[in-house]
Structure 1
Amino acid sequence: MFSQGQITFGILFAIAFIAILVFAYRKDIKLHRKYFKGSIWVLIAFISFIAMIAAIKFFLG
């Protein structure tokens, strides 16, 4: 399906992309703590809502 070169490129690209994301996040961590304080509750509510919809679909469908 994919050639060896495409697989190698994909893996190296993913590693580089994740490394850049981690570096950028670490650089801005003080700003994140200041401006996004309490945003974890929004994430928890969103995941709970999606889980509730999945549970309803599982039990009723």
Structure 2
Amino acid sequence: MFSQGQIIFGACFFIAFVIAITIAYRKDINIHKSFYKGNYKVLLAFLGFIGLLFIIKIFFKR
């Protein structure tokens, strides 16, 4: 399905991408701490809303 060259390129690209993302995140970690202090609250609210939708779906299905 894939040639050996394509697999090697994909693996090298993935490794380089992970390294680049890690370096970029480490540089911006102080900015993230100051600008995104309460983002876990938004995540919890979103997960709660999705859970509520599932509960409503189960309730009305029966």
TM-score (norm 1): 0.71
Considering only aligned residues, what root-mean-square deviation do their CA atoms show, in Å? 2.2
| Partner of residue 31, structure 2 | 31
What are the superposed Cα offsets for residues 33-59 of structure 1, whole Å, 9 maximum, x if unpaired?
0001111222333345456656748xx
| Partner of residue 22, structure 2 | 22
Give distance in 1, aligned partners of 2:10 and 2:54: 32
TM-score (norm 2): 0.70
| Partner of residue 3, structure 1 | 3
Could you tell me which runs of 5 or more consecutive residues in structure 2 were left unpaired when the two chains were aligned: none
SS where residue 28 of structure 1 aligns? helix
Give distance in 2, aligned partners of 1:4 and 1:53: 46
Identity %: 48
Could you tell me which runs of 5 or more consecutive residues in structure 1 were left unpaired when the two chains were aligned: none
Larger Rg: 2
| Partner of residue 41, structure 2 | 41
